[in-house]
Structures are given as C-alpha cells and as structure tokens.
Amino acid sequence: MRLTRRHLAAMVLTVAGGTLSGRARAQQQPASDAYLQQLYAQAKAGGQTEVIVYAASFADNAPLYQAFQKQFPTITVKGTDLFGPPLEARLQAEFASSGPQADLIASGEPDLLNFKSHGWLQPFLPDTAKGIPAQLIGPDNLWIGYATMPLGAILNSNAVTASAMPHSWKDLAAPTWRGKTVMSNPGGVNGLSQGLAAALKAGVIDQDWLKAVKANKPLITPGAIAALQMVAGGQANMCPLTAYTQYRNARQAGAPLAFVFPSEGYSALPAPFALIAKAPRALAAKLLMAWFMTPPAQALLSTIGQPGTMPGAPPLSDVPPGTTTTRFILDWRYLQDNYPALLQTFKQIFGT
C-alpha cells in the first residue's frame, strides 16, 4: 500500500490550546456544579462509595483522582493497571461469571473498539462535555476522550548537544541518527504505531519518511519503556515517538533526557473513559467522568502532561515558551478504518 501525503493529509483534527474567558467560566460553572451535585446525590443515594478503574496506567491520573475525592469525599477511586490482551481476558472472565467488577476503562481506543464488538461498554455522554470535538466521542457515545497524550522525540541529553537537537519531523529521519535510533515495534498495537498513524493522517510524514527511519537501522524493542530506558542508558541517542508522560516520569527520576515537540505539530492519542456495561457502581462512575470534563479538572490535566480536550482547556503547563500547541489527534474513525492496513505497511517497511 502506497502512502502519500495527498491521500493521508485529509481530515486531521488540529487543536490549539487556549483558556476560557472569565465570563465564559462564570456562565459555565454554576450549571456544571448543579449537574455534578445531582450526580453526587444519586451516587450517595445508591450507596456507591467507590469507583474501580481498569487503566493502562492508573498512577498517571493520581492527582486528578485525589482532587475528585477531595470534592466528593464519600467516593474513593481505586484502580488496576490492565490493557490489551490481559484486560480483554479479565473482562471476558468477568462477563462469563458474576459480571464486571470494575466500572470504568481508561485504555486506548484500539481496546475500546474491540470491547464495543463484545458489548462490554454502555453509553454515557456527560452534560459537562458539551462542545467537545465530535471526533473525541466514541461510537454511540460509548466513550469520551477527556485528554490527549502527546508524543514526541526523546533524546539522551548527555550524548546530544542543544545545538544538535532535532526540530522537525524531517530532522527525526535524518541520516545523523543512523545506528543511534531506538523504537518500539512499529508493527504492533502500541503508542508508537498509533502516533505514526496520526502523523501520516496529518501529512507531516509519508512513506518516504518511514523508509528514511528504517535506513537509519533503528533498534526495535518490545515496548516503549524499554526504548526509553535504552535512550536514558546511552545505548541509543534518540527515540522518535514517546509519550510525554513517560518522559516526565523518567526525567523527574533523574534520567538524562530531553524532549522535542516537532515544530509542525505533534501526534497525540486520545485518553478516553468508557463506562463498562452493567458496571456495579455506574452512578459514581458517571460522576467521575463528568468531573473530568470540568474546567478545574481540565486545567489540572495540563499540569500532568495530558492536555484536556474541552474548548478552552489550557495547553501543557511545563514546556518551554514557544512550544507548539498544535496536536494531531488520532480519532477512532480513522483508527477503525485504516489502522490494520497501516500496521501491515509498518511491518513490511521495518521487517517486524
């Protein structure tokens, strides 16, 4: 399959950061507060005192769960890290026996598209999500993308000087990185392959770019964490696509890493919540989903490396001035229609 900019550049979802005006916030807040209090009253009346989340990385949203529990003190948020085949196996077993044990899924859209076909999700679109781009609402309102996960390049800051840092997508495929690049498997269902899909859809890369990266003889690792560790440990100098949250965690732990957002804009993956069918604590789970779409929660998301998706949500708060706020969000329709074929193309180019 030949991928060209002409065929893949259409229909990119480009979102720029901004802030709500004081007047808009003043008009929105009372209505959302009343709605949240109504949901809270229903959850308390139903005796629902916790929400259980199956998450790709539960700890990433810990500050938000803590803020939620402070505002709604009778409800505790708990979670288990599960995604991909292990999550599917857990849900399969639960639905085949006593029913689901968790209430929400916070995993990638490939998982949710799969679970939709099993009937494991139920629709819910909170009133607080009014105005969110339609591309971030799952089919039949089965999930909602409350934030996005930015992807960009990580580099070993001990090995790469400031003047040698890449700036554009083209720079990431330059011959200077031959023998110095590492990446997770482009032919696997993972963040890197989805980030490549988003960049292809946006038209900032094409098949020639993929072949140029292949020509640089990248090391292929089983997953993103392994790739990050190789860059941090000096076995490689650069990984072209890594989640910003993973970089932040490693940098805060002292890893010698730098992060680059390509100047044209960066790939971003939706961070969705989906309500599980027959969720035992659905009322409390709906409250949590609704709260994540409010201005305070959306502002808090920007501080943990996951900019929110509501109109006016602030961009990332801890990046250098002048960093691009343009993000190319991979929506589920494109994923559903094109991802399987793209994975085959990636496998053919990279030989994985």
pLDDT (0 to 100) of residue 57:
92
Domains of the chain, CATH where assigned: 5-10+151-267+329-350 (3.40.190.10), 22-148+268-302 (3.40.190.10)
Separation CA 350–CA 263 (nearest Å): 25
pLDDT (0 to 100) of residue 22:
41
pLDDT (0 to 100) of residue 15:
38
pLDDT (0 to 100) of residue 4:
38
pLDDT (0 to 100) of residue 28:
53
Enumerate the H helices of 53-168 as residue ranges.
62-71, 84-96, 109-118
Tell me which residue of 17, 35, 53, 23 sits closest to 294, measured CA to CA: 35
Angle, in degrees to the nearest 10, between helices 109-118 and 332-350: 120
End-to-end CA distance of the chain: 16
pLDDT (0 to 100) of residue 18:
35
* Amino acid type, 116: K
Tell me which residue of 113, 121, 88 sits closest to 334, measured CA to CA: 113
Below-70 pLDDT ranges, the chain:
1-30
pLDDT (0 to 100) of residue 27:
44
Q: What are the angstrom distances between the C-alpha of 220 and each of 231, 266, 277, 346?
A: 12, 22, 37, 12
Separation CA 291–CA 300 (nearest Å): 12
Q: Residue 154 forms beta bridges with which residues? A: 239, 259
Find out whether 56 and 83 touch, Cβ atoms under 8 Å.
Answer: yes
For residue 312, the SS3 value is coil
